[in-house]
Structure 1
Amino acid sequence: MATALALLKDVFGYPAFRGQQAEIVDHVIAGGDALVLMPTGGGKSLCYQIPALARQQAGHGTTIVVSPLIALMHDQVGALHEAGVQAAFLNSSLSMEEANAVERRLARGELTLLYAAPERVTTPRFLALLDAMHAQGKLSLFAIDEAHCVSQWGHDFRPEYRGLALLHGRYADVPRIALTATADGVTREDIVAHLQLGQARQFVSSFDRPNIRYTIAEKKDPTLQLLRFIEGEHAGEAGIVYCQSRKRVEEVAELLCREGLDALPYHAGLDAQVRQRHQDRFLRDDGVVMTATIAFGMGIDKPDVRFVAHLDLPKNIEGYYQETGRAGRDGLPSDAWMAYGLQDVVNQRRMIDESPAAEEFKQVQRGKLDALLALAEATDCRRVRLLAYFGERSQPCGNCDNCLNPPAVWDGTEAARMLLSTVYRVQQASGLHFGAGHIMDILRGKETEKVQQFGHQRLSTFGIGAEFSEAQLRGVLRQLIATGALAVDASSFNTLHLTAASRAVLKGEQPVRLRESIMQPAGRSRRRERAGARSAVPAAAASLTGDAQQRFAALKEWRTRMAREHNLPAYVIFHDATLAAIAALAPRSLGDLEGVSGIGAKKLETYGPGVLDVLQALG
């Protein structure tokens, strides 16, 4: 551990390991296999980067890192270069000459870490390279990142990950570390089975991200609700907004831009160069909001994302947890905000039911959706429910919407019975099925043209629910569909059908308790000038004094120039937290900078003089 601690400080500039990092690093350096579950922002990469350095020093050779995304490889390798570590990647962004040059460096043992995609690692050409290295004792460690991709039960299954099972049989004496931020019990078992990690030690860190505040809002006008949230909580700060469809992504990005925000769209339908340009701007510039499908995000290491918003319900808690985990990787206060409504429930149920997958798979997906719906409908602590899904017990957090503003709860059992009874009587009277809007019109006694056309004003349930608002009834319908007491037939205009579970509610055996509907008008936001969107003080600098704030601002400008010169994201040079520490310290010499977290020996040599020049110029 003395070697590991020295590497942590000298190379990466951190004074101590966090959480289980030290135990994991010690185990892997000694040659043990490991399965590591650690939340996004918890420091997973150090769990294989430090062992890679230590094992190479001990003569074991190069570490191969299996990574699914080109963007992640580029960022990780760029950051390692800045720290003085010999690293490279092999992916489709390289020309044949460049790839051959990397392979020659690998064969000569010049690299500490090599990043490659799973489909490349399992090619005959690459395996021949590994065979030669192995024969010479130059193959040190395999690190398999985003290991949940191996499991069909996970939220991001990638079949090419299954081929990585051959690493164990082919190189049985080379240790392996598999890492993920999101895996429930079933997914963990699948990872162990398919990667043949039966003898691996499992390290499961707390899934809690206490700096993230979870809020789930009832949908009314979601884009205006989103605007109100961003302008009220995160003006001028970086964030990610997830939408389900490509069209919606572009609409929301345009709306945010019209309102003076610096927003960009990202989805798989855009030209690859446009996607890359937008991603680069998000990573390199301050205050950019990326509006995206889930095609964007995995491997994004940007530490100062202050919020992640969902305008549509994700498929499961694993996806929700990983996506929200992209906020606040620097440990500073951040938000996970989601708008959720009846149509979300209908859409997600329909996508599962219409999937060509096997029924066993559909049942698992329904169970995962049910857990997410329970989180969305919860009236108690969101964090307690979220952590419980991953098998972790906790106490109310005091930092989610339900803890901060406990919702009023009402008994919707009678309204639920009325709705189910109306669905039954409509079907009995006309032999047809109808959608939610028509059922609510009947119950509330609204003589619409459709109600009169079918004579539904003569039903015994017509008007008996007049005391309930449409918002209340939508809440009841949402929970009935979420719990399976009502089914939606997507193939027939989203009509409602009773299920076997309807009986318990109809007989009053299954209570329905809901949060009071809060349907405040969203209101159109006041358009903000673009310059005003840049006025917010970064979270890392919030506690600094006036002079220190000035030093921080000057250091940020300098960092931006350095990032452009080196063609790197600004945070790869220094995190905001490191700049804030420098600003508070006001160092006068390189020696003063040595103890600052995030400044290793190579960065001190490369950037230390520039930092001192910036501070000296301020006087």
Structure 2
Amino acid sequence: MQQTFGYPQFRGLQADIVANAIAGQDALVLMPTGGGKSLCYQIPAIARQRMGHGLSIVVSPLIALMHDQVRALHEVGVAADYLNSALTMEESRAVETRAWRGETTLLYAAPERINTPRFLDFLDALHQRGQLALFAIDEAHCVSQWGHDFRPEYRQLTLLHERYAGVPRLALTATADAITRADIIERLQLQEARVFVSSFDRPNIRYQIVEKTDARKQLLRFIEDEHDGDAGIVYCQSRKKVEETAEWLCMQGVNALPYHAGLSAEERQRNQDRFLREDGLVMTATIAFGMGIDKPDVRFVAHLDMPKNIEGYYQETGRAGRDGQPADAWMAYGLADVVNQRRMIDDPHSPASAEYRQVMRSKLDALLTMAEAPDCRRQRLLAYFGEQSAPCGNCDNCLNPPQTWDATEAARKLLSCVWRVQQKSGIGFGAAHIIDILRGKATDKVHQHEHARLSTFGIGADLSEQQWRSVLRQLLALDAVQTDAEAFNTLRLGPAARDILAGQRPIHLRQAAPRQERGSRRPTRPASGRPADQAAQALDAAASARLADLKAWRAEVAREHSLPAYVIFHDSTLVAIAAHNPQSLDELQHIQGIGAKKLDAYGEEVLRVCSIPRHQ
């Protein structure tokens, strides 16, 4: 840990996980993004190779992730390689030759490659020589059909246990609820493995969910008011929306790039490289972007569309603030999001089983409940993963507690209106039409279907359209109202409607928030300056000048090596160097983040930069 990676001590459960793996035992590791999962298999791989056990195999789902991890390992002096479709046949053979000769510590490969006869023959030969040290299955939630990023190829990884008994396996993920954990254990045959569950809490991330009115303008206001010039990720549901949002943000002066699976591989790689290497870029993307992204200074993650479940939401928001500095998870959420997600789950043309649909509904309901609840967001989020906590004091509901109201009567009016409309017309209608009837709006559609004659016409005139949308959204979350996917998302009563109509179930809802005008930032947010600069605020003038010089030097080295700057040194390491002003290599090596290889590669240059004369 100290010699190679430059860290003086383990964090949390890392030491126990590492010791378990070095001893040759299986494990399932659940640790939040930024919690140090990679070290949990990288250190055992180094140790087991030195013990004579040979090569460790890392199952990784993305080419970009493999490249980043291998380059970072090279920077600290660890012999690592990858095998993927980006290599030529000659390059692949060279990688295999190095591994066969014992020159490689960690070999990264996708599950599709691991399951090929050629690769299995290669593993067989290593195993016969006793030179297979460890299997690390990263992003292990991909093995579960209940997870948020299921990949069928992961299911075949059960052959690792069957074919190479005795070789320890580590399955690692940042997100898995109870049903997903059980599925991972069953599919990978980890019944005898130790399970390590770290806290899922990311206290530096502030969660905020706003009612969607004009999502683009709300996003722009959020970025300009709170994250001007910061790196961030904006998630959208469709490729078209990704491109339109990126273009619109650029027109508003925000430096934004698109990323989705429909772009060419070259453009995706180019945009990802720019995001990793340049400061202040905003990546607008589908969920195709982000897994394994190690950029530490992402200051915000925004969702313009609601994810499918809490695991997806947690995984995506967890890409913010990996450096431990304050970051934001912001989401705009509206009635259309609920309707669209329900429609996709209930699509009659989907081959999904009834059991699968029911599980997906329950997962979506958990996210809807968190979005609508008036209490602490973090408490709800952590409780979903089985972790109890106190109110965090750092989410929107804690900072500005929303008002609640007794919406029982309003709910009964809406449900009654949905029922009477269907009874009169024999068909269902959408949300906008139901709200027009409740508010007594005599539209052409209302006249055409004679809905002004209904007893529910105008009985909800005391509530605004925004308030009725809030009521309907929350009734959808409670399953009191359902959408009919075969009839253009028309509304019908759900199983929970009966008790509400009978007055047996009171409904208390959060009040619809007033629209926030530009410049009306929340006064309760701590005024601590730009989050990315907080760690440097305590530096005196001379140390601040050193930090600026060190960052300029790092940027130059990163360009020369075609690496993201943080792979050379993290900001926290540069701040520590600037603060301590080391005068020798011996002093420098005690600073966190400087291992033996980096000390040898960059030590003299760092000392030179620190010694530059500065005029006060």
| TM-score normalised according to structure 2 size | 0.96
Relative distance call for 1:20 and 1:58 in structure 2 (3 A) is same
The one-letter amino acid of 1:591's match is D
Which residues in structure 2 correspond to 1:44-55 (within 5 Å)?
Answer: 44-55=37-48
Find out whether 1:584 has 2:584 as its counterpart. no
CA distance in 2, matches of 1:21, 1:469: 53
Relative distance call for 1:273 and 1:524 in structure 2 (3 A) is farther
The 8 Å contact of residues 224 and 523 in structure 1, kept in 2 or not, is answered as no
The one-letter amino acid of 2:214's match is D
Find out whether 1:161 has 2:143 as its counterpart. no
The 8 Å contact of residues 471 and 519 in structure 1, kept in 2 or not, is answered as no
Find out whether 1:24 has 2:17 as its counterpart. yes
Aligned partner of 1:377 in structure 2 is 372
Relative distance call for 1:221 and 1:523 in structure 2 (3 A) is farther
CA distance in 1, matches of 2:494, 2:236: 30
Aligned partner of 2:397 in structure 1 is 402
Q: Secondary structure at the match of 2:321?
A: coil
Aligned partner of 1:229 in structure 2 is 222
Aligned partner of 1:70 in structure 2 is 63
The 8 Å contact of residues 242 and 285 in structure 2, kept in 1 or not, is answered as yes
The one-letter amino acid of 2:94's match is A
**Aligned partner (choices 568, 573, 578) of residue 573 of structure 1:** 568
Q: Secondary structure at the match of 2:18?
A: helix
Aligned partner of 1:243 in structure 2 is 236
Aligned partner of 2:598 in structure 1 is 603
Aligned partner of 2:381 in structure 1 is 386
Q: Secondary structure at the match of 1:307?
A: strand
CA distance in 2, matches of 1:124, 1:36: 29
Aligned partner of 2:203 in structure 1 is 210
CA distance in 2, matches of 1:593, 1:177: 34
**Aligned partner (choices 416, 430, 439) of residue 435 of structure 1:** 430
**Aligned partner (choices 313, 322, 344) of residue 315 of structure 2:** 322
Q: Secondary structure at the match of 2:167?
A: coil
The one-letter amino acid of 1:374's match is T
Relative distance call for 1:491 and 1:235 in structure 2 (3 A) is same
Which residues in structure 2 correspond to 1:469-488 (within 5 Å)?
Answer: 469-488=464-483
Question: Cα offset for 1:432?
Answer: 2.9
Q: Secondary structure at the match of 2:495?
A: coil
CA distance in 2, matches of 1:113, 1:98: 17
Aligned partner of 2:352 in structure 1 is 357
The 8 Å contact of residues 235 and 536 in structure 1, kept in 2 or not, is answered as no
The one-letter amino acid of 1:405's match is N
Deviations 1:250-285 (Å, cap 9, x if unpaired)? 111111111211110000111110000000000111
Which segment drifts farther, 308-317 or 226-235?
226-235
The 8 Å contact of residues 225 and 522 in structure 1, kept in 2 or not, is answered as no
Structure 2, unmatched stretches of 5+, are: 521-529
How large is the Cα RMSD of the aligned pairs?
Answer: 1.6
CA distance in 2, matches of 1:248, 1:552: 40
Q: Secondary structure at the match of 1:465?
A: coil
The one-letter amino acid of 1:235's match is D
The 8 Å contact of residues 443 and 462 in structure 1, kept in 2 or not, is answered as yes
Question: Cα offset for 1:536?
Answer: 8.5
Question: Cα offset for 1:163?
Answer: 1.2
**Aligned partner (choices 264, 268, 271) of residue 271 of structure 1:** 264
CA distance in 1, matches of 2:214, 2:519: 10
Find out whether 1:292 has 2:285 as its counterpart. yes
CA distance in 2, matches of 1:156, 1:88: 25
Deviations 1:443-480 (Å, cap 9, x if unpaired)? 11112222222222222222121111111110000011
The 8 Å contact of residues 236 and 536 in structure 1, kept in 2 or not, is answered as no
Structure 1, unmatched stretches of 5+, are: 1-7, 526-534
The 8 Å contact of residues 299 and 320 in structure 2, kept in 1 or not, is answered as yes
Aligned partner of 1:185 in structure 2 is 178
Question: Cα offset for 1:499?
Answer: 2.5
Aligned partner of 1:446 in structure 2 is 441
Question: Cα offset for 1:502?
Answer: 1.2
The one-letter amino acid of 2:592's match is S
CA distance in 2, matches of 1:431, 1:508: 26
Question: Cα offset for 1:224?
Answer: 0.9
CA distance in 1, matches of 2:126, 2:215: 55
CA distance in 1, matches of 2:113, 2:93: 14
Find out whether 1:92 has 2:85 as its counterpart. yes
Which residues in structure 2 correspond to 1:97-112 (within 5 Å)?
Answer: 97-112=90-105
CA distance in 2, matches of 1:96, 1:318: 38
Which residues in structure 2 correspond to 1:105-184 (within 5 Å)?
Answer: 105-184=98-177
The one-letter amino acid of 2:53's match is H
Aligned partner of 2:274 in structure 1 is 281
Aligned partner of 1:79 in structure 2 is 72
The 8 Å contact of residues 224 and 524 in structure 1, kept in 2 or not, is answered as no
Aligned partner of 2:611 in structure 1 is 616
Deviations 1:562-601 (Å, cap 9, x if unpaired)? 1111111111101111111112122222222111111101
The one-letter amino acid of 1:48's match is Y
The 8 Å contact of residues 146 and 179 in structure 2, kept in 1 or not, is answered as yes
Question: Cα offset for 1:550?
Answer: 2.5
Deviations 1:372-428 (Å, cap 9, x if unpaired)? 100111100111111111111111111111111111111111111111111122222
Question: Cα offset for 1:538?
Answer: 3.2
Aligned partner of 2:2 in structure 1 is 9
Aligned partner of 1:426 in structure 2 is 421
The one-letter amino acid of 2:62's match is L
The runs of at least 4 consecutive aligned structure 1 residues that moved more than 6 Å come to none
Q: Secondary structure at the match of 2:133?
A: strand
Relative distance call for 1:540 and 1:91 in structure 2 (3 A) is farther
The 8 Å contact of residues 149 and 156 in structure 1, kept in 2 or not, is answered as yes
The 8 Å contact of residues 224 and 522 in structure 1, kept in 2 or not, is answered as no
Question: Cα offset for 1:543?
Answer: 3.7
The one-letter amino acid of 2:137's match is I
The one-letter amino acid of 2:226's match is E
The one-letter amino acid of 1:97's match is E
